[in-house]
Each structure stands twice: as structure tokens, then as C-alpha cells.
């Protein structure tokens, strides 16, 4: 019995125990994410970006835009590198991606607990540190960053930034700490642009907690300034811009004053989400938080009053409780990159943007949950009354349980796109973007009704116009589809919409117009291989084989693993009469995509020119892969005819 007691005491006093418990707590609340599918932006980045599908394309992650289809002008090569490694390990299985996100969130929770040790050093504050990290672990504000696979950018930037901050605090122990901090800062910026604000946190820490001259502050900050300028220069060299494309700016055409007043409401709304995280959405728009044109607009003055009250509290607490003052200021700095008043962004409000600010909010919540019971305990002990600390612990446990339940429920809403955006519309019925996104995951009849509703709310919404075009094209209304594609391009030209329009024009025989559209897509996104492939198809149909071959070769330089490009390469060689090279190209297409039936058909047809026996085998493999598909019925009949004819040739039994 004494041995068991000693073992228990040893475990309880183990300094590693809180970190282990916090990691397991973070893992527990996200355990129901393993069955979730790819949703929303995951499909564009994980399922559509060829660069993560081959380790041979890793260099291109550092030399091209983060987003292949849109003009977002984002640069996140480290995030993309982790996705490429994920793909190399498990392909398109969502499970491994969600597992990595969960592990990162658990590690970030432990990092936060350790980081807070710099501010709450004595054993008496261990409870506060643990509670703050626990709030961070289970709060629904993290659900978007963890459930959305592309939210990995938030998780990585947080991990690198907090680690860099930790080494900065310890830089007095040797130059290696400062160098390590600078390296981590660079990795954070290459994970997500918002990490650029780390030097502001470091300067704030220097002002609040360290003594030193202006010269020493400048010396310490100089390295971070140099790192920032370096990444800014690399970013500009790669994508030619410091900010998002004008067409992607959420406040495009709205004055700076209205933007600032609206964002004051947004800041207050973030506070509301932290305190009452119920009914979260993926997409927040002006129907949720209307544009403010003056101080007298609803909620503008109350929002500004809340923000000023927090600023005043930070000022008043600076001398009495500098640590609490520091963490009140924390969210103000953390939100700067997404405030739209310094650098325009493509979003009004995003739950994922709360991930870094939650450091400050978590400390404030934990402080309230520990400070009030402690003060009550001190007062009541003087009166020889019961200690209320136990009640405080029960209250803290109740808060954590409440937040954990909300997180688990929210995780279930991220099951797939249909589930997610059905909930979205229930909470924001007039969200045109939610209507359009949901329409893309529903059967044709239901999808069309949603797209029409979206356009009734906003007749010029580009995504809704594009979705309506795709639906009409599926119904065979090509004239109507073309009209909606062109209207979408007027409001927001994207390579994806240009591709859809170009394919429609090509399929209806308007090759010259299709060529013009595909060349515009290439001009918009020079490193998007499907545009080169589509243009090559048009040129082949026009008889311009050499020009088509050049485009296909360019597509393969961009995406060496493109099965479609290898199929086109084989077609070019086949039309040139080079059956050997054609066969090699078709074989590489099949190796890259075994279900590409067109390549199997072309391979069998090419074999007929040089090896009838291999042709029979190739035709048989095509038939076996395609015979159950109605769309391939005519081609399968032709293949069976060729097998029969080749089998009757002299010399074959």
C-alpha cells in the first residue's frame, strides 16, 4: 500500500503530467474528426493541386502561388510541403490529414502551457497555466483550424511563432537561441502570412517585462526585421505582389472609414464568439455583419466602447498586473493581419483567425476562473468560513465541459460539405456563398433551386453565376451556361471559370473562341497545367499538332505526374505516326491514373500498328475496366470487335 501511495505521489508531482493530460484532452475532443471528409477549400488544395501529388514537384511549392486556381496571391510553401508529405504517405485518405491536424493542435496546446511558464513561474500559478491551456485545447474557436485541412497553415504558423517567442525570451543564454528563433520565425511566415506580426509581440514583451535601452531593443529586433524583409522580397519575386489580388478583396469599393467602423463591429463579434461559441459559421458576410457607414449605425458605438474599455483595462493594469495587461493586448495585435484596415484580405470574419488570439482570451478566461474564487477564499477564510476554491474548480470544470461538448458537436458538422453548409444555411439563410457551395454537392434539381435563390439575393455574385453555369451545362442548355459563365467572369475572372467556358466552346465546335479563352486562363494562371492541356486539345482539333505538342510538354514541365498530359502526348505522337513513343506516353498515363479509360483505349489502338498480340491484350484490359459503364458502351463494342478481328488474323489461334 505504501508503495502504491509513493507511486501516486511521484506521478502527481511529475512536471510532465500536466503536458500529457493537456495533449490527451486536445486529442479527446477531436477524436470524432477521424471519419470526416475533405470539405470546402480542402478540395481545391488537397484534391486539385498536382504539386502535392509528387515529391518530384516539391521545388514548385516554393516558386509558385499557394492557390492554383484563384488570384489570392498567397505564399505558404511550408504548409504545402507538409501536405505533400501527407499525400506521399496516404494519398487522398482524409484520415491521415485529420490525424496530423489533431496532433498539431495537441502539440500547440502543450507549447502554450510551457510558454505561459515564462509569465506564471511560481507553483501557485500552475493551476492558471493549466486551465488557460485547457481552455485553448477545447474551445470551439479552434474547430475550423483543426477540421479544415488547409487550416494547417494556422496550426503550423502558431507552432513556429510560439516556439520562436520561447527562444527569444531565452536568448540571453546564448546566440544559438536567437538564431533558432529567427529560423522559426521564417518558417512561421512561410506557413502563413499572418505570422509576420511576431516582432510586434516580441517588442511588446520587451517593453513590458525587460529592461533595456532603445539601442538594445533595436539590436534585438533588427534580425526579425531583416527576416521579414527577406521573406517579403521572396514573396514578391515569386507572386509579384505583397497583398491579395484586387478582385479578392472583401471590402473592394468600400471606403477606408466604413471598413474601419465595420471591423470594429467584427472585433466585438469575435469577443462574443469567445464568450458564447454557439452557432458558428464558416462564411460570414455583410448579411451577418452589415457594412457601417457612420458611428450611428447599429452596434458601432457599443463595439467601439467595448474595445476602448479593454484598452483602458490594459492601461490601468499595466502597473498592478503587467502580465494580465499583456494578454489583454495580445488579441489586438494578433488580429492586425486580418483587420482589413492595414492590408486588405479576402474575408470579413473567420473562425480560424481566432486561433492565435485565443492565447490572450484563454489567459483572461483562466484568470477570471481562478482569481475570483481565490479572492473569495481569502475573504471567507478570514471569517473562518468554507473555502470556495473547490467551487471555483467545479465552475472551471463546468466551463471546460461546456466548451468541449460544443467542440465535439461542431466537429460532427464538419463531416462533409453537404452537412457543413446545410448547417450554415440554417444559421445564415441569406448567405449567397453558402448557397452556391452547397449547390455543388447536391443533385441537379436541388442544386438549381439553391443557385437560383442565391442569385435572387445577389444577381452579380460570381460564384453563384459560375455554379448556375455548370448546372445549365449539365442540363444541355449550352447558351444559358455560356451566358452565366461570362457574367461570372465580368465580376471575378478565375482560371476555373475560364476553363469551364473554354471547354463548353470547344465541345460546341467554336474552336477559335475556345483557344482565346484558354490563352486567357494561361495568362491568369501561368502555372496551371489543365489550361495548357485544354488548349492543346483545341489545337489538335485544328490540326496544329506541333503547337499542341509544345503545350503538352509545357504542361508536363509544370506537372510531371499529369495523366491527362501524358495521354495528350501520346495522341500527338500517334498522329505524327510514331507508335513507339505514343505507346510509351499512354503507358505512363495509365501508370499515373489506372482509371483513365481514354488512355487505355488509345494504347490498344496504338499497339495495332506494331504488335497485334499486345493490341488484343490491351483491348481486353480496356473492356474489363469499362464494360460496366453506360458512357463507354459504344467504345466497348468497338473494342470487342477489334479483339475478334485481331484474333482471326493469320498466325493467331
Reported as a single tens digit per residue, the pLDDT across 87-114 is 988 888 999 999 999 999 999 999 999 9
Residue 647 has pLDDT above 90, yes or no: no
Percent of the chain exceeding pLDDT 90 equals 63
Which range, 175-179, 240-244, 274-278, is most confident?
274-278
From CA 275, how far away is CA 20, in angstroms rounded? 27
Q: How many CB atoms lie within 10 A of CB 43?
A: 17
User: Contact, 406 vs 137, CB < 8 A?
Assistant: no
Same domain, 469 and 355: no
- In the chain, how many domains are there? 4
Q: Are residues 447 and 402 in the same domain?
A: no
Within this chain, do residues 476 and 500 fall inside the same structural domain, yes or no?
A: no
Q: Where are the beta strands (DSSP E) in 430-524?
A: none
In a domain, 326, yes or no: yes
- CA distances in angstroms from 249 to 243, 345, 432, 459, 609, listed in the order given: 9, 5, 17, 19, 56
> Per residue in 497-506, pLDDT tens?
999 999 999 9
Integer CA distances (angstroms), 449 to 263, 443, 475, 638, in order:
33, 10, 14, 40
Question: pLDDT value at position 551?
Answer: 95
- Taking the C-alpha atoms of residue 60 and residue 65, their distance in angstroms, rounded to an integer, is 9
Q: Are residues 545 and 594 in the same domain?
A: no
The better pLDDT of the pair 551, 346 is held by 551
- Is residue 3 included in any domain, yes or no? no
Highest mean pLDDT among 123-137, 237-251, 369-383: 123-137
Q: Are residues 115 and 83 in the same domain?
A: yes
Residue 592 has pLDDT above 50, yes or no: yes
Q: Are 97 and 46 in contact (CB under 8 A)?
A: yes
Residue 115 has pLDDT above 60, yes or no: yes
Could you tell me the three cell numbers for 304?
A: 467601439
| Inter-axis angle of helices 529-541 and 545-558, nearest 10 | 170
- Angle of helix 256-275 relative to helix 358-382, nearest 10 degrees? 50
Verdict on whether the full-model pTM lies above 0.75: yes
Q: Can you list the pairs that 626-635 forms with residues at least 24 positions away whose Cβ atoms lie under 8 Å?
A: 626/597, 626/600, 626/601, 629/597, 632/597, 635/597, 635/601
* DSSP code for 69: S
Q: Choose one of 378, 409, 440: the last residue of a domain.
A: 409
**Do 183 and 273 lie in a common domain?**
yes
Residue 524: per-residue pLDDT: 84
**pLDDT digit string (tens) for 460-513?**
888 889 999 999 999 999 999 999 999 999 877 888 899 999 999 999 999 999
How far is Cα 109 from Cα 330, in angstroms, rounded to an integer? 17
In a domain, 216, yes or no: yes
**Mean pLDDT to the nearest integer, 581-608:** 92
Instruction: Indicate if the pLDDT at residue 214 is higher than 70.
Output: no
> Does position 407 have pLDDT exceeding 60, yes or no?
yes
Say if residue 329's pLDDT is above 50.
yes
Note whether 461 and 432 are within 8 A (CB): yes
Say how many C-beta atoms besides its own lie within 10 A of residue 640's C-beta. 15
- What is the C-alpha separation between 19 and 25, in angstroms, rounded? 10
Question: Which pLDDT value is given to residue 98?
Answer: 95
Does any domain span residue 166?
Answer: yes
Confidence band for 405, pLDDT divided at 50, 70 and 90: very high
C-beta of residue 629 within 8 angstroms of C-beta of residue 602: no
The answer to which of 180-189, 371-380, 389-398 has the lowest mean pLDDT is 371-380
Q: The domain containing residue 499 runs over which residues?
A: 493-561
- 28 and 161 housed in the same domain: yes
Note the pLDDT of residue 4: 42
pLDDT confidence tier of residue 421, bands split at 50, 70 and 90: very high
pLDDT at 194: 93
Do 245 and 106 share a structural domain?
Answer: yes
Tell me what the mean pLDDT of segment 420-427 comes to: 92
pLDDT at 439: 86
* Same-domain pairing of 223 and 286: yes
Q: Are residues 300 and 434 in the same domain?
A: no
pLDDT at 68 > cutoff 80: no
pLDDT of residue 560: 83
- Do 180 and 167 form a contact (C-beta atoms < 8 A)? yes
**Do residue 132 and residue 241 come from a single domain?**
yes
Report d(CA 137, CA 22) in Å as an integer.
7
| pLDDT at 144 > cutoff 90 | yes
| All residues at 6 or more sequence positions from 164 whose CB lies less than 8 Å from its CB, including other chains | 180, 181, 182, 184, 185, 188, 198
> Please, which pLDDT band fits residue 74 given cuts at 50, 70 and 90?
confident
Within a domain: 420: no
Amino acid 86: pLDDT: 92
Helices (H) and strands (E) in the chain, counts: 31, 0
Confidence of residue 7 (pLDDT cuts 50, 70, 90): very low
Residue 391 counted as domain residue: yes
Q: Helix H segments across 321-461? A: 322-334, 358-382, 389-413, 417-427, 432-439, 444-457
Q: Are 604 and 619 in contact (CB under 8 A)?
A: yes
| pLDDT greater than 50 at residue 430 | yes
Predicted confidence band of residue 47 (pLDDT cuts 50, 70, 90): confident
Whether 570 and 67 have beta carbons less than 8 Å apart is answered as no
Amino acid 390: pLDDT: 72
How do residues 616-632 score in pLDDT, each as one tens digit? Answer: 999 999 999 998 888 88
Q: 541 vs 572, 603, 605, CA distance in Å?
A: 11, 20, 19
pLDDT tens track for 349-386: 999 999 999 999 999 999 998 876 666 555 555 554 44
Interval 521-572: pLDDT, tens: 998 888 888 899 999 999 999 999 999 999 999 999 888 888 999 999 999 9
pLDDT at 215: 65
- Domain final residue, candidates 542, 561, 580: 561
Cα–Cα dist 249/247, whole Å: 6
pLDDT surpasses 60 at 71: no
Mean pLDDT computed over every residue of the chain: 89
Residue 1's pLDDT is what? 46
Joined together, the cell numbers standing for residue 645 give: 478481328
- Tell me if 403 is assigned to some domain: yes
8 A C-beta contact, residue 145 and residue 41 = no
Instruction: Specify the pLDDT at position 463.
Output: 85
Instruction: Report the CATH number at residue 482.
Output: 1.25.40.10
* Alpha-carbon gap, residue 185 to 196, rounded angstroms: 8
Per the CB < 8 A criterion, the answer to whether 22 and 113 are in contact is yes
Nearest CA among 21, 274, 336, 326 for reference residue 165: 326
Q: Are 454 and 429 in contact (CB under 8 A)?
A: no
Q: Are residues 445 and 311 in the same domain?
A: no
Whole-number Å distance between alpha carbons of 248 and 405: 35
- What is the structure's pLDDT at 8? 41
Share of the chain above pLDDT 70, in %: 91
Residue 9 CA: distances (Å) to CA of 14, 17, 22, 125? 9, 12, 19, 20
Checking if the pLDDT of 652 tops 60, the result is no
Give a yes or no: residue 199 inside a domain. Answer: yes
Amino acid at each position: 500500500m505504501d508503495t502504491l501511495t509513493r507511486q501516486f505521489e511521484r506521478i502527481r508531482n511529475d512536471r510532465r503530467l500536466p503536458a500529457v493530460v493537456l495533449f490527451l484532452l486536445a486529442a479527446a475532443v477531436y477524436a470524432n474528426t477521424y471519419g470526416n471528409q475533405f470539405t470546402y477549400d480542402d478540395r481545391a488544395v488537397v484534391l486539385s493541386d498536382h504539386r502535392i501529388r509528387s515529391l518530384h514537384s516539391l521545388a514548385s511549392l516554393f516558386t509558385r502561388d499557394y492557390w492554383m486556381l484563384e488570384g489570392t496571391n498567397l505564399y505558404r510553401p511550408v504548409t504545402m510541403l507538409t501536405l505533400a508529405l501527407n499525400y506521399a504517405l496516404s494519398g487522398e485518405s482524409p484520415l491521415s490529414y485529420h490525424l496530423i491536424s489533431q496532433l498539431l493542435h495537441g502539440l500547440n496546446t502543450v507549447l502554450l502551457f510551457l510558454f505561459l511558464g515564462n509569465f506564471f513561474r511560481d507553483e501557485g500559478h500552475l493551476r492558471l497555466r493549466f486551465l488557460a491551456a485547457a481552455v485553448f485545447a477545447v474551445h470551439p474557436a479552434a474547430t475550423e483550424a483543426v477540421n479544415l485541412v488547409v487550416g494547417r497553415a494556422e496550426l503550423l504558423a502558431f507552432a513556429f511563432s510560439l516556439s520562436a517567442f520561447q527562444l527569444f525570451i531565452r536568448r540571453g543564454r546564448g546566440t544559438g537561441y536567437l538564431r533558432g528563433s529567427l529560423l522559426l520565425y521564417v518558417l512561421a511566415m512561410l506557413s502563413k502570412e499572418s505570422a509576420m506580426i511576431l516582432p510586434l509581440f516580441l517588442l511588446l514583451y520587451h517593453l513590458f517585462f525587460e529592461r533595456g535601452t532603445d539601442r538594445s531593443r533595436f539590436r534585438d529586433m533588427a534580425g526579425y526585421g531583416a527576416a521579414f524583409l527577406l521573406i517579403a522580397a521572396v514573396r514578391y519575386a515569386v507572386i509579384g505582389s505583397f497583398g491579395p489580388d484586387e478582385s479578392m478583396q472583401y471590402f473592394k469599393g468600400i471606403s477606408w472609414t466604413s471598413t474601419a467602423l465595420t471591423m470594429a463591429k467584427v472585433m466585438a463579434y469575435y469577443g462574443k464568439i469567445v464568450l458564447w461559441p454557439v452557432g458558428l459559421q464558416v462564411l460570414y458576410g455583410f448579411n451577418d455583419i452589415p457594412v457601417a457607414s457612420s458611428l450611428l449605425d447599429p452596434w458601432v458605438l457599443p463595439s467601439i466602447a467595448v474595445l476602448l474599455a479593454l484598452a483602458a483595462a490594459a492601461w490601468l493594469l499595466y502597473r498592478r498586473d503587467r502580465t494580465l495587461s499583456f494578454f489583454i493586448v495580445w488579441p489586438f495585435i494578433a488580429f492586425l493581419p486580418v483587420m482589413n484596415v492595414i492590408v486588405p484580405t479576402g474575408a470579413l470574419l473567420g473562425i480560424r483567425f481566432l486561433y492565435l488570439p485565443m492565447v490572450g482570451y484563454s489567459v483572461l478566461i483562466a484568470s477570471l476562473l481562478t482569481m475570483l474564487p481565490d479572492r473569495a477564499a481569502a475573504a471567507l477564510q478570514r471569517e473562518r468560513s468554507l473555502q470556495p476554491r473547490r467551487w471555483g474548480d467545479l465552475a472551471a470544470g463546468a466551463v471546460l465541459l461546456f466548451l468541449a461538448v460544443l467542440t465535439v458537436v461542431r466537429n460532427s458538422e464538419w463531416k462533409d460539405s453537404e452537412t457543413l453548409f446545410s448547417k450554415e444555411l440554417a444559421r445564415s439563410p441569406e448567405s449567397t456563398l453558402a448557397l452556391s457551395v452547397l449547390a455543388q454537392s447536391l443533385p441537379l434539381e436541388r442544386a438549381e433551386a439553391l443557385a437560383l435563390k442565391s442569385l435572387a439575393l445577389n444577381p452579380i455574385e460570381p460564384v453563384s453565376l459560375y455554379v448556375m453555369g455548370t448546372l445549365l451545362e449539365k442540363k444541355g442548355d449550352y447558351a444559358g451556361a455560356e451566358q452565366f459563365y461570362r457574367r461570372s467572369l465580368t465580376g471575378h475572372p478565375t482560371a476555373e471559370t475560364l476553363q469551364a467556358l473554354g471547354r463548353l466552346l470547344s465541345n460546341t465546335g467554336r474552336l477559335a473562341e475556345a483557344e482565346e479563352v484558354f490563352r486567357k486562363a494561361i495568362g491568369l494562371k501561368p502555372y496551371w497545367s489543365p489550361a495548357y492541356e485544354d488548349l492543346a486539345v483545341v489545337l489538335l482539333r485544328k490540326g496544329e499538332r506541333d503547337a499542341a505538342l509544345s503545350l503538352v510538354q509545357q504542361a508536363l514541365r509544370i506537372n510531371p505526374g499529369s495523366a491527362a498530359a501524358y495521354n495528350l502526348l501520346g495522341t500527338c505522337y500517334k498522329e505524327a505516326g510514331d507508335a513507339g513513343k505514343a505507346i510509351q506516353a499512354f503507358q505512363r498515363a495509365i501508370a499515373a491514373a489506372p482509371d483513365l479509360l481514354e488512355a487505355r483505349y488509345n494504347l490498344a489502338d496504338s499497339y495495332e500498328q506494331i504488335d497485334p498480340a499486345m493490341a488484343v491484350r490491351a483491348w481486353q484490359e480496356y473492356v474489363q475496366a469499362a464494360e460496366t459503364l453506360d458512357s463507354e458502351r459504344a467504345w466497348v463494342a468497338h473494342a470487342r470487335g477489334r479483339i475478334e478481328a485481331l484474333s482471326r488474323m493469320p498466325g493467331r489461334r
